[in-house]
Amino acid sequence: MQIGSTVRLEELETLLTQTLIEKISVRKVALIVFNSDNKTSIQPSNAFESGFDLSQAQLKAALKDRKPYYFCEGHTRNRSLKTVRQFLYEHGYDLMFCLQGGVGICGTLIFGQRLDEKAYTKRDLEFLSTLASQAGLALENCLHYDSLVKSKQQIESMFEKIAQKEKLAALGEMSTILAHELKNPLGIIRSSAQYLQAHEDDTKNREQLLEY
Q: Is the pLDDT of residue 164 over 90?
A: no
Q: What is the pTM of this model?
A: 0.68
Q: Is the pLDDT of residue 18 over 80?
A: yes
Dihedral Cα 72, 115, 41, 76, nearest 10 deg: 0
pLDDT attached to residue 178: 75
pLDDT bucket at 123, cuts 50 / 70 / 90:
very high
- Count Cβ atoms below 10 Å from residue 121 Cβ, excluding itself: 10
pLDDT attached to residue 126: 93
Q: Is the pLDDT of residue 154 over 80?
A: no
**Average confidence (pLDDT) over 122-151:** 86
Q: Is the pLDDT of residue 167 over 90?
A: no
Q: Is the pLDDT of residue 210 over 60?
A: no
**Average confidence (pLDDT) over 68-84:** 86
To which H or E segment does residue 68 belong? none
| Residue 114: closest CA among 130, 134, 128 | 128
**Average confidence (pLDDT) over 67-80:** 85
**Average confidence (pLDDT) over 117-134:** 91
What is the helix, strand, coil percentage profile of the chain, to 5? 55, 15, 30
Q: Is the pLDDT of residue 94 over 90?
A: yes
**Average confidence (pLDDT) over 40-46:** 89
Rounded CA gap, 146 and 181, in Å?
52
Q: What are the pLDDT digits (tens) for 25-37?
A: 899 999 999 988 8
What mean pLDDT value characterizes the chain? 82
Q: Is the pLDDT of residue 200 over 70?
A: no
**What b/e string do you get for 59-96 counting C-beta neighbours within 10 Å, with b at 16 or more?**
bbebbeeeeebbebeeeeeeebbebbbebbeebbbbbb
